[in-house]
Amino acid sequence: MSAANPLVNFSGVLGNNVLSVGADLSFNTATGNFTRINTGLTPLSNTAVGAEFTHRFSTNENTLTIGTQHALDPLTTLKVRVDNYEKASAFIQHECRPKSFFTVSGEVDTKAIEKSAKVGLALALKPPSQHEI
């Protein structure tokens, strides 16, 4: 994309002591189309719900993804999402020490359940800072 045809991005959140609503939009000035539309709705609790709509110009393909996350406790988060191609994925992440995480994830194509699902494990460690030693 050249400087003569930039993307225009907008994002914002409005909320009060009960609910927050947000959006993130990207507009391609060359084509006059939105390239990304994200929205989110969060009751002020341990749960958040969001959606994303994307359009890929190279394949003329649209994708709608809906997801949610829930804080099981202050150190553990569960996230789940599904898209319009019926791919479902989830992960659970635990902060085992400050800024160090252990994650278990998985993805399955619900239209081809007989195929292998993807499973992942991740460990991200951040060394302690000098003042933590």
Per the confidence metrics, is the pTM higher than 0.95? no
Give the model confidence (pLDDT) of 43-62 as tens digits. Answer: 778 888 888 888 777 788 88
The per-residue pLDDT for 132 is 62
Mean pLDDT of 100-106: 96
Give the model confidence (pLDDT) of 107-120 as tens digits. Answer: 999 998 888 899 99
pLDDT of residue 2 exceeding 60: no
Residues paired with residue 75 on neighbouring β-strands, in sequence order: none
Q: Which residues contact 46 (CB under 8 A, 6 or more apart)?
A: 70, 71, 72
What gap in Å lies between CA 38 and CA 85, rounded to an integer? 18
| CA torsion, ordered 9, 35, 41, 81, to nearest 10 deg | -140
The two counts, helices (H) then strands (E), for the chain are 0, 9
